[in-house]
Structure 1
Amino acid sequence: MRRFFMHFFFWLGFYFLWNQIIYFYISDTGNRLYFSALDVTMIICAFYGVYSWLMPAYFKHKQLIRLLIQATIWLALLATGYAYLMKLFLRHMLVPIHFDFSWNYNELQYNRFFIALVGIFGGAFLKLALDRINAQRKLDAMERANSRAELTYLKAQLNPHFLFNSLNSLYTQLDFDVPQAKNTLISIADLLRYQLYECNTDFIPLSKEITYLENYFNLQRIRTDATSSLHIIAGNQELHIAPLLLMPFIENAFKYISDDDFRENIIQINIQLVDDQLHFYCMNTIAVKNSAAYSSHGVGLQNVRQRLDLIYPHQHKLEIIENKSEYSVYLNLRLQRC
């Protein structure tokens, strides 16, 4: 019904516009309205003939010659019928309309042939445009579905990776502090609960993600003697972020932290929120033997790169700087409200 009224009011407006532009030279209002009605009726017939019949047939059979022949026949029928009916009605109307009957029938038919082209081209253009829009919508929907499926797969990869690292921390504690190991097990359960039940949405509040990162950081620092620090400056934590986006960087920092005796082994993490821009910095010292592992970026870093490209296209800047002794990650990210 909504489409019907849209078409109705469009043609009503088209009719009055046609009346003012094409037949402005006719002084008699009745004549002008009548001729405009005949023209617009023919244009409407041409339009919907192409829109509802010729173009769908073309899309089905993909035969351009067939389309051109059918369109020409349709045009000829419309122009001939229009010219015949116009002369017939004008000669037998009860109320005479001032009209110059010196017009030649063939000339009248020829002129209306070109008027019908307005409807032909209008119908073809609209059908092509709408089909293109619908096809693009379907393509966008498929891309969104594929992106969601890919993101689901990428997030599913995080859980085993996280669990493996957490169990390593728990295993380390079991050798020297069983009570603390119990607390660690509770922390692991809380972190897993967060991943399984709160990360099933596309975006989560930044405050929850920061709490998760703090808990994860405190859990991972147990299994290393490195000097580790986490600084967070985030005033407006009501912004939202894709879940578990920053965790792979912190995971890798603890995984590849150096264990050298001749220098201080450091993990430094800074998170700062300025307006809607999140600035993330993560640095850790690395041993020479681990540089190759970092160069390959690992599953975790490939994962986060893909997620950034999918979720934050043109809204993030990721820079990774590596040398023989340090590995640094700089990420600027524009967050959003949900």
Structure 2
Amino acid sequence: MNNLQRACLHVLIWALILILFVYISSRSGNLGNAVVIFLYFGLINITVFYINYLYILPRFLNSRRYLGCAVSILLLIMSSAVIKYAVASFFREIVLIRGPNRDYYVTFWEYIIVASVTGAFFVFISTAFKFAGDWFLNEKVRKNLENEKLTAELAFLKSQINPHFLFNSLNNIYSLAYQRSEKTPAAILKLSEIMRYMLQDSNEPTVPLEREIRYLQNYIELQKLRFKDGAFVNFSYSGVDERMQIIPLILIAFVENCFKHGIVTDEAIPLDIKLQVRASELIFEVNNKKNLQNKDVLGGIGLSNVKRRLELSYPGRYELTIENGGLIYYCKLILHL
């Protein structure tokens, strides 16, 4: 909402309030009296509201000149009371006359006290409005800064993944090229598809789950090219809807860990990867044979990176279970999409 729209909204609200009070008052008395009491004096009170809201509070409170602020507010209240009395003097028979028989006129100081209380009320309302507006503005700024911080942190975590994966993949392709393997062109093609996804699609906050699955398939196929005697990998998925979204590159660490620290050449205990979607719940399970000579199961940036990204992107909406006993390494991730 720009300044003009905000000003029009304020004018409309005050106009509706004044019209409502004039209408209510005119039903039990004279319309002219109601217009004088609520329109003229209402405009003075509204002026007090905005002088305090737009001038006194920003000028003195922002610079922490509290004494000057208090003195200015006091002068505003007193001067508005005097102005009201001057206006009331022109409508003496309407505003100043009191009593059951309308035979008593309010004195100057009696009127000043009542008018000062009214002015103080509008000063209080404008001060509360100012503090409430500043609080909401500061809260909005705080949330924006927090979101920017989270975005920057997520970008940093994602940037850790790319060089880490690229380094491992290039090593694999180098080995194939050094051996003059016929698998080298296929490996380069798979790597190019993977890098296209990592450099383009993964820049979005979320991606279609189907693309993430395709990325995992490419990665698995690329890794299988490393093994001369073959790698035994079962990858299955079900319940995937084209509308489902997920943050990119969140599942790769678990799969990469299996190839890096597990054994995938045992046909009796293959690497088993399952992805299931039930309603809005994604269940991702990885089960593989451990390499007992490798003590690092999911170390370095792997596990801490994944956990941090999950905390930032799915706070309170994920469950991560890791079982690392005996010969089998088992990992289960549940995401509430």
TM-score (normalizing by structure 1): 0.87
Partner of 1:312: 314
Structure-2 separation of matches of 1:325 and 1:34: 91
Distance 1:260 1:196, change over 3 A: closer
Cα distance in 2 for partners of 1:317, 1:238 equals: 22
In structure 2, relative to structure 1, the CA distance for the partners of 1:98 and 1:110 (3 Å cut) is closer
Q: Which residue of the other structure, out of 123, 130, 134, is the alignment partner of 1:131?
A: 134
1:198 and 2:225 correspond? no
Q: Any conservation in 1 of the 2:88–2:96 contact (CA below 8 Å)?
A: no
SS at match of 2:241: coil
Of 274, 281, 284, which aligns to 2:288? Answer: 284
Matching residue within 63, 66, 71 for 2:65: 63
- For the 8 Å contact 2:232–2:264, the answer to whether it is kept is no
Please say if residues 96 and 106 of structure 2, whose CA atoms lie closer than 8 Å, have aligned partners that are also in contact: no
Q: 2:330 aligns with which of 307, 328, 331?
A: 328
Deviations 1:254-303 (A, max 9, x none): 11104898x95542111011222211111222234434x237x4202222
Cα deviation, residue 99, structure 1: 6.1
Counterpart AA for 2:287: M
Question: In the aligned structure 2, how far is the partner of 1:314 from the partner of 1:259?
Answer: 33
- Match of residue 211, structure 1, among 206, 209, 214: 214
SS at match of 1:178: coil
Determine if contact 1:226/1:265 at 8 Å carries over to the other structure: no
2:244 maps to what in 1?
239
Does the residue aligned with 1:329 lie in a helix, a strand or coil?
strand
The question of 1:54 aligning with 2:59 is answered no
Structure 2 residue aligned with 1:169: 172
Whether 1:43 aligns to 2:48 is no
Aligned residues: 326
Q: Secondary structure at the match of 1:236?
A: coil
Match of 1:34 in 2: 36
The Cα shift of 1:11 comes to: 0.3
Task: Provide the residue aligned with 2:100 in structure 1.
Answer: none
Partners of 1:258 and 1:287 within 8 A in 2: yes
Aligned to 2:86, which of 84, 108, 114?
84
Larger RCO (CA under 8 A, 6+ residues apart): 1
Residue pair 2:21, 2:38 contacting (<8 A) in 1 also:
yes
Look up the equivalent residue of 1:244 and give its one-letter code. Answer: L
Q: 1:260 to 1:202 in 2, by over 3 A?
A: closer
Cα distance in structure 2, aligned partners of 1:259 and 1:188: 20
8 Å CA contact 2:209–2:240 kept in 1: the answer is: no
| Deviation readout 1:53-79 (Å, 9 max, x if unpaired) | 121023322133332222112111111
Partners of 1:230 and 1:270 within 8 A in 2? yes
The Cα shift of 1:216 comes to 0.7
Equivalent residues of 2:264, 2:270 under 8 A apart: no
Deviates most, 42-51 or 252-261:
252-261
Q: Distance in 2 between matches of 1:226 and 1:170?
A: 16
Q: For 1:273 and 1:259, how far apart are their aligned partners in 2? A: 26
Shift of 1:113: 1.1
Shift of 1:177: 6.4
1:148-188 Cα offsets, whole Å, 9 max, x none, are 22222221111111112223432454466611122112111
Select which of 218, 231, 234 maps to 1:229. 234
Among candidates 115, 118, 122, match of residue 119 of structure 1 = 122
Give distance in 2, aligned partners of 1:37 and 1:318: 66
Give the direction of change, closer, same or farther, for the CA distance of 1:24–1:64 in structure 2 (3 Å limit). farther
State the secondary structure of the residue aligned to 1:318.
Answer: strand
| Pairwise CA distance, 1:14 | 1.8
SS in 1 for 2:297: helix
What is the TM-score with the length of structure 2 in the denominator?
Answer: 0.87
Does 1:220 pair with 2:223?
A: yes
Q: What amino acid is aligned across from residue 227 of structure 1 in structure 2?
A: F
- The superposition leaves residues 118-171 of structure 1 with CA deviations (integer Å, 9 ceiling, x where unpaired) of 321121111111111111222222222222222222211111111122234324
Letter in 2 for 1:256: H
The aligned amino acid for 1:190 is: E
**Match in the other structure for 2:14:** 11
RMSD: 2.5
User: What is the SS of the residue equivalent to 2:91?
Assistant: helix
The residue number in structure 2 matching 1:158 is 161
